[in-house]
Amino acid sequence: MNRFSEFTADFEEKRRVRRVSSAAAGVSISACPPGGAATGSLTARTAQTSRAAVHIMLSRSCLLDDRSRAQLCSGCFCSGLVSVPRTCADEEFRCRSGQCVSLSFVCDSDSDCDDGSDEASCPAPTCGPGSFQCNNSVCVPRLWACDGDTDCADGSDEWPQNCAGGTGQQPQTVCRDHELLCASGECVHGSWRCDGSGDCADGSDEHNCTALTCRPDEFLCNDGSCVPGMRQCDGNPDCRDHSDEMDCVTVHACAGPGRFKCGSGECISADGVCDGQRDCRDGSDEPLKDCNTNECLTNNGGCSHTCSDLKMGYECVCPAGFHLINRTHCEDVDECADTDRCTQICINLPGSFRCDCKDGFELDHMTKDCKAVTGSGAFLLFSTRHEVRKMALGSRTYTALIRQQKNVVALDVDVHSDRIFWSDASLKKIYSAAAADPAHRSTVIDSRISRPEGLAVDWVHGNIYWTDGELQTVSVATADGSKRKTLVSEGLQNPRAIVVDPHFMFWTDCGEPARIEKSGLNGADRTALVTEHIAWPSGVTLDVMSGRLYWVDSKLHTLSSIGVNGDRRHTLIQDQLTLPHPLALAVFEEKVFWTDVSNNGIWSTNRVTGRDVAAVAEHLQSPADIVLYHSLRQPSGQDWCRDAAALNGGCEFLCLPAPQINTHSPKYTCACPDHLTLAADMRTCGSSDAKFTFTWCLNKCVLAVCTHPPYNDKIHPVHWRMKNTNTIHFTNPVYQKKTDDTVHIFRSSSLDGYSHPSCQMISMDEDAA
């Protein structure tokens, strides 16, 4: 039985194909094979030739996978668009639509098939004591009920009759003064109202808009605004979207090798030069001394390489890989100045260049891409509000790694410790869990946090960084959350995504004006990296190997990259259909991946050219953040805070890496919690309002205010050391408690000064004791 016979027999067996007509010329079939939804028809016909050729044509609306198409068409008998359903793996479930999803997603109360068939025919669940049963019988964690967010498909978890005291109604979103409240509940920039681009999830920012009409002497910008027509294509953008400077073409009448410009200004055909006929008014096309003279015969015309004689005069020509630096001399072209030449390392050679890869990667000599050859297999982790899912690269099958979350927004990993970190915007917390045991999570941050929309792991120093759009801050904490510090709090409007490398952190600000900023991991050397052609930078990622930063802009519908020092900016994609509302992105090898909440999926493209856009995962519910898990994405580095002679770099609280601006830069600096400041030794912490001087009272008393652990918790025996003497033990100490500070009043017969690394001295009158 040949392959086509097997194909049609399988259709008959499954009763999925209906034969409509039969004739010598062919067979017409009105349905797609299993997994396809067609509006057209499938036609088979055989030609009477020495070798039968079978042509199978399917409607373009048959949504089937490429792998099966390639298997069916591996012979010489296919033409046109051919699709067949792929075979689902043993651990997969076939949806009625033909889609394959993980078996673990069947009857999990979340539709993963695009037709919902993975949740059809499921028994009514029995909810446990820690769950709330929706009106449609689905169980959700009780923590989600009556919290203002609708989690049941029917909204019953927020119905007033199911919530004590009538709570559960969606709280009214409060937008800032410069923002617009969408009907769908989110806030967008007020200036985006009626600009011709739907920025609200429901497009309500473009409802009830009056189309603007410009005067005849004005230019209509793409955003709907008008600018004076004389300013179009003047080299200076006047439209906010710079559309008045797009598609500008300067036409030169004499441009091109076939035209010659006369000295008198007119243009003639180049064929008329030195032909014995005066075509120019001034005769400049027939100069006697230049026509029929070969200047290349004398000293090669002064050219360093090739001299080419022309009808009039001559020109110097450079070989491939060189360019003219003046009229006569050629210089080597630095191909490596072009960021598109190589994906990792570019080595310039005389007249050419060579690509190379960093340790752990190997060069594909056909594509010039660097492929990982060490480390375990790479996979993507992405969040879908209630879950964190895992998908191996090259596979379209994903599994749930972390389940039953409230509202996962930000996500990152520490590959070397095999630990996952994520933030929950509804619960206002940051969690972590071992990748090998994701069910047992730990709470890292649960206070002084409001809207943690960005999260990044410093894998070298073991810290986490996050942005808070509500508090307008960028903060750092140890991986267990025991020590934390606000690093940036000034000049932020709406900080969003954040990413780090071993020395710097980069974050986006979706305020107005929007920007991408950069600073050291200790908050020092803050600078704006991107300030132009940017509106809503919702996601950012970093390719440490190439030293390039990638970001997506949900307003401008762009995917762009730039060097970590702000050079070599490049726009890979600018297209509203491809990037309707991207949220987050990740990069590895030659690809960049991103999530899109409008397209409900994950997509990829070549990270150098922006070509070969492809769907990685589709039909996702609220895809948000995405990270790539592979050891080569987080190369090892030196932790000076651990390698220093003193424990924790000698810092009493936090030891943070410093930006390596030049050869004299410190390797790290110390930091204190927000309510304390660094003492004069730049290592210990003291009260921010304590004085640095002290005086003796009349009866020889001195006051010491201890403002950090363990002295701010309880009284400890304190040993004071007199300068240049042995330790003195004070007797008869008197103390009193003031707010959070423990106040010690020590009495001594000595009038010499004393110091202690854990306390600061302030003066105090005898009466106050």
pLDDT in tens, 614-641: 999 998 888 999 999 998 899 888 999 9
Please, what is the Cα angle at 627 between 625 and 631, to 5 degrees? 165
Alpha-carbon distance 630 to 586, whole Å? 12
Distance of CA 204 to the CA centre of its chain: 26
Average predicted confidence (pLDDT) for the chain:
77
| Residue 181, both tokens | 């409240």
pLDDT for 702 equals 42
- How confident is the model over 153-203, as pLDDT tens digits? 788 888 888 887 655 445 556 787 778 888 877 888 888 888 778 888 788
Domain range enclosing 594: 399-633
Q: Is the pLDDT of residue 584 over 70?
A: yes
| Residue 355, both tokens | 């690509």
Residue 641 is assigned to a structural domain of this protein: no
Q: Is the pLDDT of residue 581 over 50?
A: yes
Q: Is the pLDDT of residue 690 over 90?
A: no
Alpha-carbon distance 307 to 300, whole Å? 6
- How confident is the model over 479-495, as pLDDT tens digits? 999 999 999 999 999 99
- How confident is the model over 716-737, as pLDDT tens digits? 333 333 333 333 333 334 333 3
Instruction: Categorize the per-residue pLDDT at 276 as very low, low, confident or very high, splitting at 50, 70 and 90.
Output: confident
Alpha-carbon dihedral 516, 522, 524, 528, rounded to 10 degrees: 0
pLDDT for 668 equals 93
For 162, phi and psi rounded to 5 degrees? Answer: -100, 0
Residue 60 is assigned to a structural domain of this protein: no
Alpha-carbon distance 149 to 164, whole Å? 15
Q: Is the pLDDT of residue 385 over 70?
A: yes
- Is there a contact between 100 and 77 (Cβ–Cβ < 8 Å)? no
Alpha-carbon distance 506 to 566, whole Å? 11
pLDDT for 82 equals 44
Q: Is the pLDDT of residue 106 over 50?
A: yes
Residue 108 is assigned to a structural domain of this protein: no
Place of tokens 């003064």: 177
pLDDT for 249 equals 67
Q: Is the pLDDT of residue 23 over 60?
A: no
State the DSSP string of 126-142.
---TTEEE-TTS-EEEG
What single-letter DSSP state applies at residue 532? Answer: S
Rounded to an integer, the average pLDDT of 429-439 is 94
- How confident is the model over 296-306, as pLDDT tens digits? 999 999 999 99
Question: Which one is predicted more confidently, 239 or 169?
Answer: 239
Rounded to an integer, the average pLDDT of 534-539 is 95
Mean pLDDT is lowest, of 440-454, 500-514, 520-534, 692-706, for 692-706
Residue 459 is assigned to a structural domain of this protein: yes
pLDDT for 701 equals 39
Distance of CA 747 to the CA centre of its chain: 60
Mean pLDDT is lowest, of 58-72, 116-130, 308-322, 489-503, for 58-72
Q: Is the pLDDT of residue 441 over 50?
A: yes
Find the CATH number of the domain harbouring 593: 2.120.10.30
Q: What is the number of alpha carbons within 13 Å of residue 385 lying toward its C-beta? A: 11
Q: Is the pLDDT of residue 14 over 60?
A: no
Alpha-carbon distance 679 to 134, whole Å? 56
Rounded to an integer, the average pLDDT of 92-107 is 87
Which range, 4-18, 37-51, 649-663, has the best average confidence (pLDDT)?
649-663
Question: Which one is predicted more confidently, 264 or 367?
Answer: 264
Residue 638 is assigned to a structural domain of this protein: no
Residue 592 is assigned to a structural domain of this protein: yes
What single-letter DSSP state applies at residue 69? Answer: H
Residue 750 is assigned to a structural domain of this protein: no
The pTM for the full model equals: 0.65
Mean pLDDT is lowest, of 189-198, 531-540, 546-555, 596-605, for 189-198
Max CA distance (Å), the chain: 121
pLDDT for 171 equals 53
Residue 475 is assigned to a structural domain of this protein: yes
pLDDT for 688 equals 56
Alpha-carbon distance 672 to 693, whole Å? 21
**Number of independent structural domains in the chain:** 1
Instruction: Categorize the per-residue pLDDT at 45 as very low, low, confident or very high, splitting at 50, 70 and 90.
Output: very low
Q: Is the pLDDT of residue 543 over 80?
A: yes
Q: Identify any residues that bridge with 92 across adjacent strands, giving them in sequence order.
A: 102
